[in-house]
Structure 1
Amino acid sequence: MDKSPAGIAIAGAPDGILRYVNDAALLIRGGTRETIVNGVGINKYVASWQLLDLEGNPLKTDEVPLSRAILYGETSSRDLIIRRTDNNDRIVQANAAPIKNQEGKIAAGIVVFNDITERKQYEEALASSEKEFRQLAEAMPQIVWITRPDGWNIYFNQQWVDYTGLTLEESYGHGWNIPFHPEDRQRAWDAWQNATQHNATYSLECRLRRADGAYRWWLIRGVPLRGEDGKILKWFGTCTDIDDIKQAEVALRESQSKLETALASMTDAVFISDAAGKFIELNDAFASFHRFESKEACLKNLDDYPDILEVFMDNGERAPLEMWAVPRALRGETATNAVYTLRRKDTGETWKASYSFAPIRNTQREIIGSVVVGRDITEIVKAEEERFKLENQLHQIQKIESIGQLAGGVAHDFNNMLNVILGYGNIILEKTRADDPLHECAQEIVDAGNRSATITRQLLAFARKQTIAPKVLDLNETIEKMLRMLRRLIGENIQLNWHPSSVWPVFIDPSQLDQILTNLCVNARDAIGDVGKIIIETETTTFDEIYCSQHPGSIPGEFALLSVSDNGIGMDAHTVSKIFEPFFTTKELSKGTGLGLATVYGIIKQNNGFINVYSEPGQGTTFKIYLPRHTKQITTGQKKEEDAIMHGRGEIILVVEDEASILKLASRILTSLGYVALTANSPQEAVKLAKENEKRIDLLITDVIMPEMNGRDLADVLLALHPNLKCLFMSGYTSTVIAEKGVLEEGTHFIQKPFSARDLGVKVTEVLKSQL
């Protein structure tokens, strides 16, 4: 007993005097053996040992286990407090029993007590901890639970009861499995078995039934509490409502799916980055936009973009990396339709791009990423450039039409006046000697009139209101006959080289071809200034739809090409863009009207052709004129060098003109040529004369535009009266009355105002000789 770790004390009966205490008892009680084993009785023993219950109240004699063993022969056990003199109270578990002699009488009592102070303190701390745990568990919004190692539930907080509607009694044990969704119940049990078998954390997302029967998603997690030996003592866990998170995840997945669908359907390139500029999302269009075969190929090369791609600003300067769309957006910049030019370094492919970009911000307005939308606008830019060119062409056409309306309005009256001036001027020249001062004055009048008539013709040609009589021509043969005149025109210091090639026939008025070459050669002469060279060439060429779509102004088809080149001073791009505008000239004042090239342009357009110009300062100029191929036979019987005038033999000619001075002049010229001239200043008067004249009227000469009735209608009326009547129309400008788009109808005879006495005589001879 002396070596026992438990305290042992023996008291005799019935006096209760202590007979023995071991060392362990002395250690627990405190003090010496002499002070403890002092021959006192039981009552003194209880008092001297200061035995207290666990609430700190002094124990009575019959409440002490050793006393009860001596007094009553009871075997009992009790936890009590031994108050020591050093105030280091000890809690002991006392187990007492009587010791009986051979007669069965109580001879003594023995008590064995173990110091359980630390265990009691631990139990109190544990109880306090459990109390605090339960208070915390009840305050938590989650469901809190505790089970035994085998899964037998021993605790749920009130949240479980409130949510499931189950009582704690229904829930304890394995009742926790009741509210699980039928589809999740087995899965939950399997997860529990797996956790217990592998000592792993229990984690499961499942649906639990609410008291109203609805199911919500919960995250159930449990962790084991292990003893010192590592064995699981309990499981502590929580159930967290994640239904809102689940719904948000579903919504997010749906939103992500919609975003992916939207991105996939977009033709614009879309790139979304994080705050570091790293890829988060991009669509297939982004890959094709950057000329990659697939999205995968694009992703492989994202980090190498600066080595693959060159980016240029709209002003043509190379854009540094910080000026690319993503870095700009991450700096907080926002842009719409920022234009860049992109170039793949590896392939050399270049395209125009329009970028819209913006930063992505969180609720604190911090930049957390960027979104960039790119659009290939190469074709749009081309279309815009084409539209600009077309608008310029439309502007040019409108300008031409305005000039044409002005020229048409002016030409009629102006040519009538010029006709009178030139007619009487020529009469004066014929009636005066060369040394007569009046002859010189008349010559000045005629020269000025001719210059004015030339300007009027140029205006009409430019406006495509010149009356023409096109013929099928061999371009080479016609130009060949003009070379002598052109050489005289440009002078001896300039060499004229003629390089004809086999060329297709064209359908054009020979006088217009004369105007084209004259104007171009005069301009070339002025551009050369002194010594130089002009080259005239012909050849054939064909343009298809593809070529014409890429070269505005071109027309598909087969063409005869007439090229006029010089080695003069050349022109810059700005000058080239304006050379066909009416009245634009680079020549000194009084040395050019600005209508020469405008006339060429108008003639070519009137004949369904087009013209291109190539020039650079100091490198000379080349005009290339394309006239449509004509498939009919070339006209035979060329015009003679000098047309003969046949004097009349009394033929009766009816002249109809609302301008009295022209009427008088024409009558005078015809009478001087031996014709009988009947004059009428209106269509009604002409019809009256035709009805009254019993003799045959051989020729009608009528103005085209007159009050009451036009010349064509008048001719139809008079032909009914005189079936063999021949007609000659005269006008200061073209009219659809006798010419469609300026081209005379077949068999129609026409004389352009102003005309000379010779012009009229030749034309009258030609018409009278013609067959009806």
Structure 2
Amino acid sequence: MEEIYNIINQSPAIVFIWKNDMGWPVEYVSENVESVFGYTPEEFLSGAVSYADVIHPDDMERILRDLAVYAEKQQEKRIEQEYRIIAKDGNVVWLDHRTLILRDDHGKIVRYQGVVLDMTERKRMQEKLEEKERKISAILQAAPTGIGVAVNRLFTEVNQRFCDMVGYSEQELLGQDARMLYFSDEEYEAIGCKQRESFYNGAMMTTESRLRHKSGKTVNIFASWKLLEKDDVSAAIIFNALDITELKETEKKHLQSEYRFRSMMESMSDLVYICSADFRVEYMNPAMIKRTGRDATGEFCYQAIHDLSHRCPWCTVTPEKHETYFESNVDSPKDDRSYHVSHSPIVNDDGSVSRMVVLRDTTRFKKMEEQLSQAQKMESIGNLAGGVAHDFNNILTVINGYAQMLQMGLEKDNKMYSDVEQIIKAGDRAATLTRQLLAFSRKQMIMPRTVDINQLITDMKKMLERLIPEDIRLTTLLDENVDSIFADPSQLEQVILNLVVNARDAVNEQSSSMEKVIIISTSKIFLDHDYVATHKETCPGWYLQLQVDDNGCGMPPAILEHIFEPFYTSKNVGQGTGMGLATVYGIVKQNQGSIYVYSEPGQGSTFKIYWPLKNEGDKEKKQVKNNLPIGGNEVILLVEDDEALREITGRQLRQVGYTVIEAVNGKAALKEAAARRPGTIDLLFTDVVMPVMGGRELAASIQDVHPGIAILFASGYPDDRIRQDIVELGKDRFISKPYNIKDLLLRIRSLLDARQV
């Protein structure tokens, strides 16, 4: 027994026996009690200190409550408790107390027998460990990434961030297989294989993956897995997952944006490049690379784009104005083409500013603008020329009329006869000039019919050969497949004649010893949209191409720019009127055609006329032979707003026997007609363009008063609508100013006789 006591007294455990009485008086305590409690065994055994006296007051209630619970359970004999005591020196000591309950024969607790161990240090270490765990837990819960632990791929611990990422609560995840977060068994097994491979190689696994959210949506993660116990694959695995869903979406949008940008740049026909603040090329789209012949990234933009050795003179970029947008129109010396250039600033991530420069080729549009400007100028000149011709025709008709009347009253041997003849000839020359002006302004009266252009050129060839010297060879190359065209033959002859005369003069001026040649050719050609796009005045379709080539002196651009303007000539004074090519231009335009000239100094010239092909029937009417009497006794209503012209025409008609009623305009003419019995006026001779009421309206109204009246129109400047009306009536119903008195009398006699028939 003594040996047992020695073992107890020398062990760290302290043995107590105390009665179940007030204060728990101690009946026995081992000698080592002082090492923990600070009290000697005698102090406990003498009753100076009871066991209840040393228990910490904050723990007493819990101890009593536990004892009461055990007391009610008769079968319970042992109690294990942890509580604090206050040692003699005042220090608090934590105890691990194992108590044996001793009962009497009636089951009443009579005493307690306990073994006490000082666990203060262990408790302190446990508190430190718990504090550390609390800190770690706080860190894990506050971490921006999802963190957890899995054993055999079953979740044993997860932080709140991971729960938020996958949409499950901690309770829903713990103990569950990670398979619940994968979309398929294949994805789940693939991650497992990667983990095992990495762990067997002693490495931490890091990869991008995706998880299935509780709602079913995809959660993209960047995750790492690591063994908690090195080399123990069966041990717990700690994982760390970063939610990169938004990052992936941003990356996707960035890639889409970059793809759209590159697709747009690569599909653009415009030339695009990006340059840095120091004018270095940073990017070129394929169109720009094709133009420069290389990818000039890193080179100075002004060198690569425009072949300049210094900054572009039109560039307004400065350090102060580098972030401004501006536009410019540029003629690049690299390819001699015109561009509209837009400069847009691009702010980079580092704050530096680059510039995106877009060059749109406007060469074609610039040429079209020049063509439009030229066409508008020619139209303005044409309107002016037509107006002048209209007024001048009235004057010429008066001059020629009086001259003709004077000549008719003279004998041929009279000295004055030849003088008057010269006046008439001068008037005829002036009339020819006004007809040319009308042709240029497209106001000339035309009587179109179906024309075989090849036959017309063949018929003209002998006449044309007489116009050119013998040392010039005239060749015709006529396509047999050319369709007939709808045109006024006299106008076509005028066009061909003027072009051949122009070519003759050009060939005569060339000083080389080569053979002098003029070629007239015809062909059938289809003008497509590509051609029309660069030739503003042309429409798509089938055309007759009438071409006149010469190997003469050619023309510089300065002359080509004005070649179709009336009265413009490069010939010496007295050698040309300047109306030949202007007349050609007007006739072609009047017939909805187009004309282009190609020429260079010393290389000859080529004139190409595109005349619309039409399948029109022969609209020409047979003319009445002019072997008719020129006078009569019928009544003629003469309507003319020009007083001098009206007076001379009336005198001429009266002189040959006609009764003439004069009116100043259509309204006055209707008044005169209404004052006379129906059928008493045989012919209406009226000007087309007059104030108050014009000739066409008058002609329509007068037939209500005088049915069957013959009508003859006259004008020096009919507009498009009137010309069409006259054409429908027939050319015998119209006479152009200035008219010859003999032609007028023949036309009137023809209409009156046809009316009688």
Provide the rounded CA distance (Å) in 2 between the counterparts of 1:514 and 1:196: 101
Contact 2:632 2:657 survives alignment (8 Å): yes
Q: Can you list the C-alpha shifts for 1:137-188, whole angstroms capped at 9, x where unaligned? A: xxxxxxxxxxxxxxx979838853654699xxxx9xx99957575569988x
Query: 2:570 matched to 1:570?
Result: no
Deviation at 1:373, TM superposition (A): 6.3
Q: 1:475 to 1:757 in 2, by over 3 A?
A: same
User: Sequence identity of aligned pairs in percent?
Assistant: 32
Contact 1:494 1:530 survives alignment (8 Å): no
- Secondary structure, counterpart of 2:684 in structure 1: strand
Counterpart AA for 1:269 = M
Cross-structure match for 1:130:
none
Give the TM-score of the pair, scaled to structure 2: 0.58
Query: 2:660 matched to 1:677?
Result: yes
Q: 1:506 to 1:420 in 2, by over 3 A?
A: same
Query: 2:136 matched to 1:160?
Result: yes
Provide the rounded CA distance (Å) in 2 between the counterparts of 1:423 and 1:274: 78
Deviation at 1:468, TM superposition (A): 1.6
Cross-structure match for 1:721:
705
Cross-structure match for 1:269:
265
Cross-structure match for 2:690:
706
Contact 2:640 2:686 survives alignment (8 Å): yes
Query: 2:521 matched to 1:545?
Result: no
Provide the rounded CA distance (Å) in 2 between the counterparts of 1:597 and 1:557: 25
Deviation at 1:581, TM superposition (A): 3.6
Counterpart AA for 2:748 = V
Question: Equivalences for 1:229-378 in 2 at 5 Å?
Answer: 246=242, 250-266=245-261, 267-269=263-265, 363=350
Q: Can you list the C-alpha shifts for 1:86-133, whole angstroms capped at 9, x where unaligned? A: xxxxxxxxxxxxxxxxxxxxxxxxxxxxxxxxxxxxxxxxxxxxxxxx
Query: 2:452 matched to 1:457?
Result: no
Contact 2:404 2:424 survives alignment (8 Å): yes
Deviation at 1:701, TM superposition (A): 1.0
Deviation at 1:727, TM superposition (A): 0.8
Q: 1:517 to 1:154 in 2, by over 3 A?
A: same
Out of 486, 508, 525, the position equivalent to 1:529 is 508
Cross-structure match for 2:490:
511
Out of 640, 651, 655, the position equivalent to 1:657 is 640
Deviation at 1:590, TM superposition (A): 5.4
- Secondary structure, counterpart of 2:546 in structure 1: strand
Counterpart AA for 2:652 = I
- Secondary structure, counterpart of 1:268 in structure 2: helix
Give the TM-score of the pair, scaled to structure 1: 0.57
Cross-structure match for 1:18:
none
Query: 2:738 matched to 1:750?
Result: no
Q: 1:596 to 1:354 in 2, by over 3 A?
A: same
Q: 1:314 to 1:749 in 2, by over 3 A?
A: farther
Contact 2:478 2:523 survives alignment (8 Å): no
Cross-structure match for 1:77:
none
- Secondary structure, counterpart of 1:416 in structure 2: helix
Contact 2:275 2:354 survives alignment (8 Å): no
Contact 2:641 2:664 survives alignment (8 Å): yes
Q: 1:575 to 1:179 in 2, by over 3 A?
A: same
Cross-structure match for 1:477:
455
Q: 1:224 to 1:506 in 2, by over 3 A?
A: closer
Q: Can you list the C-alpha shifts for 1:501-557, whole angstroms capped at 9, x where unaligned? A: 434222112231232123223322332336985645343313053554455244333
Q: 1:742 to 1:257 in 2, by over 3 A?
A: farther
Question: Equivalences for 1:349-428 in 2 at 5 Å?
Answer: 363=350, 381=361, 384-428=362-406
Provide the rounded CA distance (Å) in 2 between the counterparts of 1:192 and 1:481: 100
Provide the rounded CA distance (Å) in 2 between the counterparts of 1:700 and 1:619: 57
Structure 2: gaps of 5 or more residues:
1-127, 143-147, 163-169, 179-191, 210-220, 233-237, 267-271, 277-281
Q: 1:482 to 1:674 in 2, by over 3 A?
A: farther
Counterpart AA for 1:515 = Q
Provide the rounded CA distance (Å) in 2 between the counterparts of 1:386 and 1:696: 65
Provide the rounded CA distance (Å) in 2 between the counterparts of 1:273 and 1:635: 65
Contact 1:548 1:555 survives alignment (8 Å): no
- Secondary structure, counterpart of 2:596 in structure 1: strand
Cross-structure match for 1:467:
445
Deviation at 1:220, TM superposition (A): 9.3
Deviation at 1:680, TM superposition (A): 3.1
Q: 1:478 to 1:501 in 2, by over 3 A?
A: same
Cross-structure match for 1:92:
none
Contact 1:314 1:340 survives alignment (8 Å): no
- Secondary structure, counterpart of 1:740 in structure 2: helix
Contact 1:418 1:449 survives alignment (8 Å): yes
Counterpart AA for 2:498 = N
Structure 1: gaps of 5 or more residues:
1-151, 207-216, 233-237, 276-280, 292-303, 343-349
Q: 1:677 to 1:360 in 2, by over 3 A?
A: closer
Deviation at 1:750, TM superposition (A): 0.6
Q: Can you list the C-alpha shifts for 1:661-690, whole angstroms capped at 9, x where unaligned? A: 212222233344444433333435534544
Q: 1:205 to 1:443 in 2, by over 3 A?
A: closer
Provide the rounded CA distance (Å) in 2 between the counterparts of 1:644 and 1:202: 118
Question: Equivalences for 1:641-652 in 2 at 5 Å?
Answer: 643-644=626-627, 646-652=629-635
Deviation at 1:753, TM superposition (A): 0.7
- Secondary structure, counterpart of 2:564 in structure 1: coil
Contact 2:626 2:746 survives alignment (8 Å): yes
Q: 1:675 to 1:536 in 2, by over 3 A?
A: farther
Q: 1:413 to 1:319 in 2, by over 3 A?
A: closer
Provide the rounded CA distance (Å) in 2 between the counterparts of 1:689 and 1:446: 34
Q: 1:510 to 1:156 in 2, by over 3 A?
A: same
Q: Can you list the C-alpha shifts for 1:585-621, whole angstroms capped at 9, x where unaligned? A: 3234554444332321221122122223232222222
Counterpart AA for 2:250 = S
Query: 2:593 matched to 1:617?
Result: no
- Secondary structure, counterpart of 1:738 in structure 2: helix
Cross-structure match for 1:555:
539
Question: Equivalences for 1:207-246 in 2 at 5 Å?
Answer: 246=242
Provide the rounded CA distance (Å) in 2 between the counterparts of 1:386 and 1:742: 41
Question: Equivalences for 1:189-200 in 2 at 5 Å?
Answer: none
Out of 613, 628, 633, the position equivalent to 2:612 is 628
Contact 2:450 2:619 survives alignment (8 Å): yes
Q: 1:670 to 1:308 in 2, by over 3 A?
A: same
Deviation at 1:454, TM superposition (A): 2.9
Provide the rounded CA distance (Å) in 2 between the counterparts of 1:588 and 1:355: 49
- Secondary structure, counterpart of 1:658 in structure 2: coil
Contact 2:687 2:715 survives alignment (8 Å): yes
Q: 1:198 to 1:442 in 2, by over 3 A?
A: closer
